[in-house]
């Protein structure tokens, strides 16, 4: 059984390590500026360009600002639409190297899990207190890091937020991994950040929950039995490797590799899914919660 000390997959990082991200950050900003200049030269708005390359306008905006790492598929589509003469596609390999460098934004204790997550073919997570990290909006993640005690320096908050947003690229990678989440209903009613941040976060849950290949379920608070009362956990299967478990509490986290422990976690997760609302019922509940805001 391997053990990793620190915070966890959905949020809290301890101890904090100071890391130099300037090289990666500047590189991504430079790529974003190139795309923006070429787009404007072509006379396209972000909305028009996003439609032509098959991505959302918000993603294009984030890429142009250097806040998101462009996928190879986006670079290829941009190359074609903007007639970039090879300027963008030539950066694809460098982008992959930059993504690898970006992983240093995670503290040392978290890198083992982050490495597994980046190559996972299956991720299943049960969350009791917070929105899972892969489903968080940027504003929600920033609010979580901003309320940490002891307080984090602003530059560390931005590093951690950027790292979390970069992790979410696994949701759009193809072939897509198998994802499922069971979230305790109480999380839907906990307006971390402020009301505006919380509403946007609920809308994000609906967006992901409606995506093909994503299964989102809510465990109702009214259930008289709940096999997940021992706390949150994640089941993760890296490509070509056995499934692992991941658990965390306060300042400790543990990567579970013992087959028997992983089997028990699997059985527990299966029961949680059976007792939770169905995916359709869960989305309806989230919509109802939004309507009450």
Full set of structural domains in the chain with CATH: 4-17+107-291 (3.30.870), 22-100 (1.10.260.40)
Q: Which CB contacts under 8 angstroms, 24+ apart, belong to 79-85?
A: 81/42, 81/44, 81/49, 81/52, 81/53, 82/35, 82/38, 82/39, 82/41, 82/42, 82/49, 83/42, 84/38
The predicted pLDDT at position 109 comes to 58
Angle between helix 22-41 and helix 72-82 axes, rounded to 10 deg: 30
Give the integer Cα–Cα distance in Å for 246 and 227.
17
Helix (H, G, I), strand (E, B) or coil at 283: helix
- The tokens describing 213, both together, are 């290949």
**Given the structure tokens 């096999």, which residue do they identify?**
227
Helix (H, G, I), strand (E, B) or coil at 23: helix
By the 10 Å C-beta count (0-12 exposed, 13-18 middle, 19+ buried), 192 is classed as middle
Helix (H, G, I), strand (E, B) or coil at 6: coil
Tens digit of pLDDT at every position of the chain (293 positions): 333 333 344 443 333 333 333 445 678 889 999 999 999 999 999 999 999 999 999 989 989 998 777 888 899 999 999 999 998 988 887 877 666 555 445 655 576 788 889 889 999 999 999 999 999 999 999 999 999 999 988 888 888 898 899 899 899 888 899 999 999 999 999 999 999 999 999 999 999 999 999 999 999 999 999 999 999 999 999 989 999 999 988 767 789 999 999 999 999 999 999 999 999 999 999 999 999 87
* E strand or H helix at 219: strand 214-219
Question: Quick one: which of 126, 162, 124 has its CA closest to 244?
Answer: 124
Beta carbons of 3 and 254 less than 8 angstroms apart:
yes
Give the integer Cα–Cα distance in Å for 112 and 154.
25
- DSSP annotation of 224: S
């Amino acid at each position: 059984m391997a053990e990793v000390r620190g915070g966890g997959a959905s949020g809290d990082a301890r101890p904090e390590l100071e890391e130099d991200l300037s090289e990666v950050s500047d590189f991504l900003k430079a790529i974003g500026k190139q795309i923006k200049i070429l787009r404007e030269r072509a006379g396209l708005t972000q909305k028009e360009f996003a439609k032509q390359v098959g991505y959302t306008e918000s993603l294009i905006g984030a890429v142009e600002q250097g806040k998101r790492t462009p996928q190879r598929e986006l670079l290829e589509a941009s190359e074609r639409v903007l007639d970039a003469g090879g300027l963008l596609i030539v950066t694809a390999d460098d982008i992959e190297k930059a993504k690898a460098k970006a992983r240093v934004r995670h503290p040392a204790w978290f890198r083992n899990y982050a490495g597994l997550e980046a190559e996972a073919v299956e991720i299943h997570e049960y969350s009791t207190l917070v929105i899972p990290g892969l489903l968080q909006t940027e504003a929600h993640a920033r609010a979580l890091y901003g309320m940490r005690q002891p307080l984090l320096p602003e530059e560390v908050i931005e590093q951690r937020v950027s790292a979390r947003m970069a992790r979410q690229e696994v949701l759009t990678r193809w072939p897509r991994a198998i994802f499922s989440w069971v979230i305790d209903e109480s999380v839907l009613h906990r307006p971390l950040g402020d009301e505006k941040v919380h509403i946007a976060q609920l809308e994000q849950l609906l967006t992901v929950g409606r995506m093909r290949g994503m299964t989102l379920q809510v465990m109702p608070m009214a259930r008289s039995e709940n096999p997940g009362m021992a706390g949150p956990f994640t089941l993760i299967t890296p490509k070509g490797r056995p499934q692992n478990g991941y658990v965390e509490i306060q300042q400790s986290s543990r990567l579970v590799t013992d087959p028997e422990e992983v089997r028990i976690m699997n059985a527990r997760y299966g029961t949680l899914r059976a007792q939770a609302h169905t995916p359709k019922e869960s989305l309806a509940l989230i919509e109802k919660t939004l309507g009450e805001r």
